C-alpha cells in the first residue's frame, strides 16, 4: 500500500517567476505532490536550492541514478528515504541535486505515505489528541533584499493578533492591518504608489522610526475599532546589513559597530513596544544574540540566518542561550527528517520553533501542517498574495477538520 511505484519531477515557477521543482511520489494507493521555495536573503549555512549543474541536468541525472534506488521502498519509512536522498547527493550543501529536488521528493514522499494510510500530513508527523494552531505572523512593511533594497533597510515589519478567538480572525486581523497601513502610507508618504515586495508587504522610503510610528497608530486604531490586540515584530536580517565590520543602514544613514547595533535594537524594542525580533545581529554573532536575550527575557528573540534550521547550529545557540526562538525553513536543510530533528531539539530545549515561508514561494501548503504538528506558536506566511494565502487557508481547513481538538496559540 505504501510501496513507491513511481517518481516524477517537473520544472515549475515560484512566486518570483524563478524555476524550481515539483515532485510526485506515487504509491499503489496515493500520489504525493510537493515543491520547493527559494529565498533571496540567505544564510551562508543553508544548503543550495538550485543544483550547480542546473535543474534540467540535475533532474535528468536524478531520474537515471537516484529514482531506481527509491522504487519499491516503503514510503512510510521517511528517514530511510531521506538517507538515500542525502547520500545520493553526496555533498554537505546538496550541490548536486539541491533542495529543489531533494526536499521536493522528501515532502512528496511524506504526503504519499500520509494519504496511503488516510492521515493528514500533520497527523503523520505527530499524532496526538490536542493541537495548537499557530498565529499567523504577517509582514506588512517590507524592505532589504525582499524589496531590492528600495525600501526600509531592515527586511520586515511584522504583526500578529494575540487575542483572536479563531484562526479566521487571526488571519483577518493581519489583512486589516495591511489595508490600514496602505491608507496611512498613502496619506503620509508622498512617494508611496502602492508598491509591494516579493512577499506582498508594502514598500516605503520613509525613515524606520516614522514608519514604526504609523504601525503603532494603525494597531491602536484597529484595537479601538475591532478590539484586536496586535503585537509588532521586526526581522532585521542583519547579515544583509553587515559588511564584516559594521552594520550599514543606507536609508537611515547609519553605520554601527556591534555595541551600537545592540543599543539601536534596544532603543527600537523599548520605544515601539516590539515583542518579536528576528536576526538582530549577523549570522555568527551568538554573543550579541545572548546579550539581547538576557536583557529582554519577556520578548521573542529569534534566530534565522544564525541557525539556518540546522541542528548543530541550534545546539551552539542553546549552549550560549542565544535566543528563545528559531526559524524553521525546510529548504535550508533539504529534507523532512533533518527538519524534524531540529524542531525536536528546539521543543525539548524550550526554544519556540517558528515555521516560515520563503520570499520565492509556491502554492505548496506543507509548512502549514508542519507548524500544526509541533504546536508552532507562530507561522510566517505573509499577509496577502495567492502563494501566501494558500498556507493560511490550509490552516482554516485543518481547524475545521480538528474541530474541538484544535486551539489557537497565544503569546504573552
With a CB cutoff of 8 Å and minimum separation 6, the contacts of 238 are: 247, 261, 279, 280, 281, 282, 285, 305
pLDDT, tens digit, 9 for 90 and up, residues 70-92: 999 999 999 999 999 999 999 99
Output the pLDDT for position 412.
Answer: 72
Integer angstrom CA distances of residue 361 from 12, 14, 36: 11, 5, 8
pLDDT, tens digit, 9 for 90 and up, residues 295-312: 999 999 999 999 999 999
Rounded Cα–Cα distance for residues 142 and 218 (Å): 16
Average pLDDT over residues 366-383: 97
Catalytic site includes residue 329: yes
pLDDT, tens digit, 9 for 90 and up, residues 123-178: 999 999 999 999 999 999 999 887 677 789 999 999 999 999 999 999 999 999 99
**Tally of CB atoms within 10 A around 225:** 10
Rounded Cα–Cα distance for residues 115 and 96 (Å): 30
**Residue in this structure with the C-alpha cell 515586495, named with its chain if needed:** 197
Integer angstrom CA distances of residue 352 from 101, 231, 236, 240, 349: 28, 17, 19, 24, 9
Catalytic site includes residue 361: no
Output the pLDDT for position 233.
Answer: 98
Whole-number percent of the chain with pLDDT over 90:
96
Rounded Cα–Cα distance for residues 284 and 239 (Å): 9
Output the pLDDT for position 291.
Answer: 98
Q: What separation, in Å, do the N-terminal and C-terminal C-alpha atoms of the chain show?
A: 45
pLDDT of residue 381 exceeding 80, the answer is yes
Domains 3-118 and 125-408 share a fold: no
> In the chain, where are the structural domains located?
3-118, 125-408
pLDDT, tens digit, 9 for 90 and up, residues 178-237: 999 999 999 999 999 999 998 999 999 999 999 999 999 999 999 999 999 999 999 999
Closest CA to 371 of 324, 412, 406: 406
For domain 125-408, give the CATH superfamily: Enolase-like C-terminal domain (3.20.20.120)
**89: phi then psi, degrees, rounded to nearest 5:** -70, -45
Fold of 3-118: Enolase-like; domain 1 (3.30.390)
Average pLDDT over residues 314-329: 98
Ranges 37-46, 138-147, 380-389: which has the least confidence? 138-147
**Residue in this structure with the C-alpha cell 514522499, named with its chain if needed:** 109
pLDDT of residue 324 exceeding 80, the answer is yes
Take residue 10 and report the three cell numbers written for it.
Answer: 517537473
With a CB cutoff of 8 Å and minimum separation 6, the contacts of 121 are: 110, 111, 114, 366, 369, 370, 373
Region label for 104, one of left (φ > 0), alpha (ψ between -120 and 50) or beta (otherwise): alpha
Rounded Cα–Cα distance for residues 92 and 404 (Å): 43
Question: What does the DSSP assignment read for 353-371?
Answer: EEEE--SB--S--HHHHHH
Report the chain's C-alpha Rg in angstroms.
21
Rounded Cα–Cα distance for residues 134 and 368 (Å): 9
Output the pLDDT for position 151.
Answer: 86
Secondary structure element (H or E) that encloses residue 114, with its range: helix 98-116
Catalytic-labelled residue, pool 111, 124, 180, 329: 329
Half-sphere exposure of 11 (CA within 13 A, CB side): 11
Question: What does the DSSP assignment read for 262-325?
Answer: HHHHHHHHHHHTEEEEE--S-TT-HHHHHHHHHH-TTSEEEESTTTTT-HHHHHHHHHHT--SE
Catalytic-labelled residue, pool 24, 46, 199, 361: 199
Rounded to two decimals, what is the model's pTM? 0.97
Closest CA to 153 of 222, 69, 237, 232: 237
3-state helix, strand, coil in the chain (%, to 5): 45, 20, 35
CA dihedral 333, 338, 340, 342 (to 10 degrees): -70
Amino acid at each position: 500500500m505504501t510501496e513507491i511505484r513511481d517518481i516524477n519531477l517537473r520544472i515549475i515557477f515560484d512566486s518570483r517567476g524563478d524555476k524550481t521543482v515539483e515532485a510526485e511520489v506515487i504509491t499503489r494507493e496515493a500520489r504525493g505532490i510537493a515543491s520547493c521555495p527559494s529565498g533571496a536573503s540567505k544564510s551562508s549555512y543553508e544548503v543550495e536550492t538550485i543544483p550547480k549543474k542546473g535543474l534540467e541536468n540535475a533532474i535528468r541525472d536524478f531520474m537515471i541514478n537516484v529514482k531506481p534506488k527509491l522504487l519499491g521502498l516503503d514510503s512510510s519509512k521517511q528517514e530511510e528515504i531521506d538517507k538515500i536522498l542525502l547520500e545520493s547527493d553526496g555533498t554537505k550543501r546538496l550541490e548536486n541535486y539541491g533542495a529543489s529536488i531533494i526536499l521536493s521528493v522528501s515532502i512528496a514522499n511524506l504526503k504519499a505515505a500520509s494519504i496511503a494510510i488516510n492521515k493528514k500530513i500533520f497527523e503523520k508527523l505527530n499524532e496526538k489528541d490536542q493541537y495548537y494552531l499557530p498565529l499567523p505572523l504577517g509582514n506588512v512593511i517590507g524592505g532589504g533584499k525582499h524589496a531590492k533594497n528600495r525600501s526600509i533597510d531592515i527586511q520586515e515589519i511584522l504583526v500578529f493578533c494575540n487575542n483572536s478567538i479563531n484562526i479566521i480572525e487571526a488571519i483577518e486581523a493581519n489583512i486589516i492591518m495591511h489595508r490600514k497601513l496602505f491608507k496611512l502610507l498613502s496619506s503620509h508618504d508622498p512617494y508611496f504608489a502602492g508598491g509591494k515586495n516579493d512577499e506582498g508587504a508594502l514598500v516605503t522610503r520613509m525613515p524606520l522610526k516614522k514608519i514604526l510610528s504609523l504601525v503603532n497608530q494603525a494597531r491602536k486604531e484597529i484595537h479601538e475599532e475591532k478590539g484586536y490586540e496586535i503585537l509588532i515584530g521586526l526581522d532585521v536580517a542583519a547579515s544583509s546589513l553587515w559588511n564584516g565590520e559594521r552594520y550599514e543602514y543606507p536609508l537611515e544613514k547609519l553605520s554601527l559597530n556591534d555595541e551600537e547595533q545592540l543599543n539601536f535594537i534596544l532603543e527600537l524594542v523599548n520605544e515601539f513596544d516590539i515583542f518579536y525580533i528576528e536576526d538582530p545581529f549577523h549570522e555568527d554573532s551568538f554573543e550579541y544574540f545572548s546579550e539581547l536575550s538576557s536583557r529582554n527575557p519577556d520578548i521573542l528573540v529569534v534566530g534565522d540566518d544564525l541557525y539556518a534550521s540546522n541542528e548543530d547550529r541550534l545546539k551552539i545557540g542553546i549552549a550560549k542561550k542565544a535566543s528563545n526562538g528559531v526559524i524553521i525553513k525546510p529548504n535550508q536543510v533539504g529534507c523532512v527528517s533533518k527538519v524534524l530533528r531540529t524542531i525536536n531539539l528546539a521543543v525539548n530545549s524550550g526554544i519556540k520553533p517558528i515555521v516560515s515561508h520563503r520570499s520565492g514561494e509556491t502554492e505548496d501548503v506543507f509548512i502549514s501542517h508542519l507548524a500544526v504538528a509541533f504546536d508552532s506558536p507562530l507561522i510566517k506566511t505573509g499577509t496577502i498574495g495567492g502563494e501566501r494565502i494558500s498556507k493560511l487557508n490550509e490552516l482554516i481547513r485543518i481547524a475545521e477538520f480538528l474541530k474541538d481538538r484544535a486551539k489557537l496559540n497565544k503569546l504573552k
